[in-house]
Amino acid sequence: MVYDNPLFREHCILYIRYIDDLLVLWDGTMDSLVEFHTFLNGMEETLKFTNTCDRVTINFLDVQLTRVGTGLKTDLFRKTTDKNSLLHYTSFHPKPLRDSLPLSQYTRLKRIVSNDSDLQKEKGEMTSRFMERGYPHDILDMNKQKLQNRSREDLLCPVKRDTQKSDRLMFVSKYTTASRHVGNIIRQHWHILQSCHQDVPSFQQPPMLAYKRGRNLKDQLVKADIGGKCPTKQLFLQNPKFGIFPCLHCTQCNSVTKVNIFYHPHRGNKYEIKKYFTCESTFVIYLLKCPCGLLYVGETTQKVRDRISKHKSTIRRGLTALPVPAHFQSSRHSISQLKFKVIDSVETPRRGGNRLLMLKKLEMMWIHKLDTIWPRGLNREYTPANFIF
């Protein structure tokens, strides 16, 4: 409808839009512009346009356009409410990003400001803003020097991007205090992969390092989850009980160690069980203990009594390829000496998510916490891969 409007077709010389900001060059009378503006606001009830017009100067985004004779002069425009919101140099961001920020701002100035004397004035203003935000003189001078021999016409030309897909690997991680050291270690030892896998093109160059934002104070202090809509199931009439208890109607109840706290058999560390569990609990972390004091940490999505039944079955059949039956056979323990307790669980996430992956991560955490890797325990597998992918 707009493009078919006779006023638009006759008087609109230039039409530029960036999101909800429009720039229009109009060669008609002021009355025709007001009429066109009224037409736009009458098209949609919920969509209204404001109008700012001038015969000499107009502001669009961060550019001030001024009519000079038969041409246009461009300058930098800042709102009166604009504050110095440049990234502080001490901010926890990668150093290459902080060091290159002045270059991007000086480049923006050179693209926008068409007059050389105005450009020098804006450069001085921008330098003062960076110094207020803690940027060193040498960083600012270095970035100015990079633009010294580049013309404004060159900067205004579109940059041709290489659309060919690169074989170079991308190493993406959360930015932490250890990121710089990790990057140095990767670059220092990358030659090992180059020499061992010379037929793999991706290994012939070190990877590009890219970072995701880590958890900041806002992420740690602000919790937007207001809780589930459905009330939780009430298990107790009075004060709730925590710990592991037999269900009293299965064959595995005699193997339950009924406790609400437990101690590490070698180090003596005390651990509290902060939830209520029975033989019928699911998505849990359980702990097996043999008579000689060794521990085994396991996870199961089924009822824990069914998982313990399978453990006893493997011991009975002598499956020595598995760690628990292998130890019971070599140490001549009996099945009746196997004791277990449930120590943790993963509830159904209210917002969805991979509950099984959460359970695997929790298992790895307890294996590390209780130090149950062989020979100090009965676990044989421990991989941090669940925390990477």
Q: Give residue-wise pLDDT tens across range 9-38.
A: 888 988 899 988 999 888 989 999 999 999
Name residues of the chain where pLDDT drops below 50: none
Average pLDDT over all residues of the chain: 89
For residue 306, what pLDDT is reported?
95
Q: Please state the three-class secondary structure of the chain as a single string.
A: CCCCCHHHHHHEEEEEEECCEEEEEECCCHHHHHHHHHHHHCCCCCCCCCCCCCCCEEEECCEEEEEECCEEEEEECCCCCCCCCCCCCCCCCCHHHHHHHHHHHHHHHHHHCCCHHHHHHHHHHHHHHHHHCCCCHHHHHHHHHHCCCCCHHHHHCCCCCCCCCCCCCEEEEECCCCHHHHHHHHHHHHHHHHHHCCCCHHHCCCCEEEEECCCCHHHHHCCCCCCCCCCCCCCCCCCCCCEECCCCCCCCHHHECCECEEECCCCCCEEECCCEECCCCCCEEEEEECCCCCEEEEEECCCHHHHHHHHHHHHHHCCCCCHHHHHHHHCCCCHHHCEEEEEEECCCCCCCCCHHHHHHHHHHHHHHHHCCECCCCCECCCCHHHHCC
For residue 234, what pLDDT is reported?
61
For residue 236, what pLDDT is reported?
61
Whole-structure pTM value: 0.58
CATH top-level class of 243-387: alpha beta
Q: Give residue-wise pLDDT tens across range 307-345.
A: 999 999 999 999 989 999 999 999 999 999 999 999 999
